[in-house]
Amino acid sequence: MVHGKVLLMTPGPTMVDPEVLLAMAKPTINHVSPEFDEIHSEVLKMLSEVFATKGRVVVIPGSGTSAMELALRSVVKPGSKVVVLKAGFFGDYLARGVEALGGNAVVIEAPIGRGFTASDLEAVLRKHPDAEVVAFQHVDTSTSVANPLRELAAEAKRHGVKVLVDGVASVGGMEVRLDDWGVDVCFTGSQKALGVPPGLGIVAFSREYSEELEGREGPWSLYFNMPKLLKEMESTRNYYVTPAVNLVYALRESLRIILAEGLSERYKRHRIMAEAVRAALEAMGLKLVAEEGFRADTVTAAYIPDGVEWPKLYSGMRARGIEIAGGLGELKGRIFRIGHMGQTGYTDIAATIAALERTLKSLGYDLELGSGLRALQEKLHEHGV
């Protein structure tokens, strides 16, 4: 570690562009002023492009969990049966949220490393024809599993079921198209692939569901009050909750960077980084957690080799200036996770693999130094970058 600087390669929070951080340093202005109202409206318009929806978008101060609760409240009523597709640790968050609202969560759990196919969902919905909603993570960072969003949404729609998606670890790094794919509700946080510091919860609704949402009755709470929040999104002068003004500045700057890169190019960059990291880890003899066909473009998880302890792996990487993440739940102490999303670039993943090789070697793992880095470079070269 040099001068206390650490390369942040966790699956969230992620690295933040200096221009985004500078935007936060601008003077705070009145949240009901015409100037801020214009900034806020610009942010919502750009978010609509990222989510590919002509529907409503809501931004609130809070974590991804706050966005999850608002999203759930928009589709779950007391007694609602909600099928939760669990492909990792965070599936339990959705289930607990459903139950907290008086809904009935039917949790369908995939084996570790696997997500769900459309045929899997078809079989589940045949067993639960009275299900009103299907909810799942697009990417579960605990396993680095990505569910095939487009196919699952299409299958749910075929059964007349609402689709709620946790896009916390995908929005801004993997393609999400609400209107075209039939995703009714999708939520995220600011601190992942959008490349903003933590503190904003974001919920987007499809154009079709936005029309239905206008007349929907609760259950709303004092804070999670959709009708009032929607009015505030029309104009911040319809004040309900105080926006996180300086974080909204940051989000505007980050969205400008994202759209300047171009969404298709951004998704391509994430896909290439993911392929390169996976190639490197496998060349080092490490086993990936997510199975082929269910691997995310924003995070990669691998099993820690026998004889290596997670605390020593973590501290060894920190000493070399790289911050990675460990396992959660039943995978705690068994895996490590590398985030490669948002502002992360090709040089960052190369530095991470180089440090990982040296750290594992120092902990007694038998590998040829440079094997992972060589595979990573070859994959990048294959893609012409």
pLDDT classification of 1: cutoffs 50, 70, 90: very low
- Outline where the chain has alpha helix (H): 18-24, 34-51, 64-75, 91-100, 118-127, 149-158, 178-181, 207-213, 226-234, 245-261, 263-283, 310-319, 346-362, 371-382
Cis, bond preceding 13 (omega within 30 deg of 0): yes
Phi-psi domain of 342 (left: phi exceeds 0; alpha: psi -120 through 50; beta: other): left
Cα–Cα nearest to 190, from 49, 66, 31:
66
Q: If DSSP codes are grouped into helix, strand and coil, which group holds residue 90? A: coil
18-260 has which fold?
A: Aspartate Aminotransferase; domain 2 (3.40.640)
For the segment 181-225, what is each residue's pLDDT rounded down to a tens digit? 999 999 999 999 999 999 999 999 999 999 999 888 878 999 999
Instruction: Please state which CATH number belongs to domain 7-13+263-382.
Output: 3.90.1150.10
Average pLDDT, the chain: 97
Token look-up 């929070």 returns 13
For the segment 106-145, what is each residue's pLDDT rounded down to a tens digit? 999 999 999 999 999 999 999 999 999 999 999 999 999 9
Q: Tally Cβ neighbours within 10 Å of residue 220.
A: 16
Mode of pairing for the β-strands spanning 57-61 and 145-146: unpaired
pLDDT in the model for residue 5: 82
Residues 6+ apart with CB under 8 A from 242: 31, 61
For the segment 338-381, what is each residue's pLDDT rounded down to a tens digit? 999 999 999 999 999 999 999 999 999 999 999 999 999 999 99
pLDDT in the model for residue 223: 97
pLDDT classification of 3: cutoffs 50, 70, 90: very low
Q: At 327, which amino acid appears?
A: G
pLDDT classification of 147: cutoffs 50, 70, 90: very high
Rounded to whole angstroms, the Cα distance separating 330 from 92 reads 13
Stretch 21-44: mean pLDDT: 98
Give strand pairing partners of 159. none
pLDDT in the model for residue 232: 98
For the segment 259-290, what is each residue's pLDDT rounded down to a tens digit? 999 999 999 999 999 999 999 999 999 999 99
At residue 76, does pLDDT exceed 70? Answer: yes
User: pTM for the full model?
Assistant: 0.96
Q: How many CA atoms lie within 13 A of 127 on its CB side?
A: 10
**Lowest mean per-residue pLDDT among 68-72, 213-217, 225-229:** 213-217
At residue 2, does pLDDT exceed 90? Answer: no
Cis, bond preceding 111 (omega within 30 deg of 0): no
Q: DSSP state, 89?
A: T
Please report, for the chain, the start and end positions of each structural domain, with discontinuous segments joined by +.
Answer: 7-13+263-382, 18-260
Cα–Cα nearest to 139, from 103, 175, 111:
175
